Amino acid sequence: MPQITRVTCKECGKRRVKATIVNPLTGKKRKTPTKICQECHAKVIDYRFFSSSFGQWLRRAFHRQCTESIPKDTDSLGGLILLWREYRAAIGLCSDGETITKKYDYQICHIDPVKGNNGSVGALVPKNLIIAPKELNLMLSNLPYPTTSGLTVKRGDLINDDNFKQICRERYDLNRLQRDFELNVRDKKNELPVFENSGVHPSLMLLKELNRLGFKTNRVLLLEHVNLVKSVYETFLTVGGLLAKSELEGYKNFTREAQESEYIYEALTPAEKKRESKDKRKALELLDEF
Ligand SMILES: [Zn+2]
């Protein structure tokens, strides 16, 4: 019989068996490198997930959703995290060591509105979401989407602070998501570092989002035509993606041909992510802290 070795858990101080973690890619189990028991390990992961910037954003977003309209499983929630990361990168967070500012004001907006007809709910999944300038979202958020993204569902149970964490624990592998996406909590004791992110100009964001949502185009508005960018976004949200695309392509004198790298998302899988350069990962981590 294999001998069960116990360690003194660094969290609760009890003599217990070390926590086991599962590699999400290979399914292999191994003991954690730190001396911690399973119970405390789960709590730490919980804490990191729910206290990270994404965890806090998710809590606010889920409060407007129901059990039928949120991502079904771990992989779907992973897709939402990737979109959220695009949104964070687009904002262009900067810090002078004291305050954090952003270069652009975007929101992740519903295409089929959250509050649909007869109590239906617009799902919180990437296909029903578009990263758009905040002012447009505030102006248009209550309009019904004309062609519908087909992602409105019947209302399920409400989500609030009482059941939010429990629903997440039951439905998603928080441990895996926390590690794969390196969702961490900033140590408030440490000084705020100085950093700068360039953000994504609305004209480029529009191009990326049209392509991601299936309205393929390689025309991008020249940066100075911000009003035309808003107009195309408005068309998208009020008349639909097809007309938004043709409006954009109609501005022949105000657009240029985009490079492929400008309209294709770098949707990284966790395995690919590991191969990224150290610098880029550091930058992503830093971004994740706020
Ligand atoms: Zn413990």
Q: pLDDT for 54-85, tens place per residue?
A: 999 999 999 999 999 999 999 999 999 999 99
Cα(18) to ligand 1 centroid in Å equals: 9
Cα(12) to ligand 1 centroid in Å equals: 4
Kindly provide the b/e burial profile for residues 109-129, where b requires at least 16 CB atoms within 10 angstroms of the residue's own CB. Answer: bbbbbbebeeebbbbbbbbbb
Which tokens sit at 274? 């590991």
The answer to whether residues 229 and 286 touch, using CB atoms and an 8 Å cutoff, is: no
Cα(37) to ligand 1 centroid in Å equals: 4
Cα(49) to ligand 1 centroid in Å equals: 18
Cα(286) to ligand 1 centroid in Å equals: 29
Cα(50) to ligand 1 centroid in Å equals: 19
| Prediction pTM value | 0.81
> Of the given ranges (159-168, 173-182, 226-235, 266-275), which has the lowest mean pLDDT?
266-275
Cα(32) to ligand 1 centroid in Å equals: 13
Cα(34) to ligand 1 centroid in Å equals: 11
The answer to whether residues 269 and 217 touch, using CB atoms and an 8 Å cutoff, is: no
Cα(185) to ligand 1 centroid in Å equals: 20
The answer to whether residues 145 and 112 touch, using CB atoms and an 8 Å cutoff, is: yes
> Of the given ranges (54-58, 99-103, 192-196), which has the lowest mean pLDDT?
192-196
Cα(13) to ligand 1 centroid in Å equals: 6
What is the tens place of the pLDDT at every residue in 117-176? 778 889 999 999 999 999 988 888 766 666 677 888 888 999 999 999 999 999 999 988
221, containing H or E segment = strand 219-221
Cα(170) to ligand 1 centroid in Å equals: 21
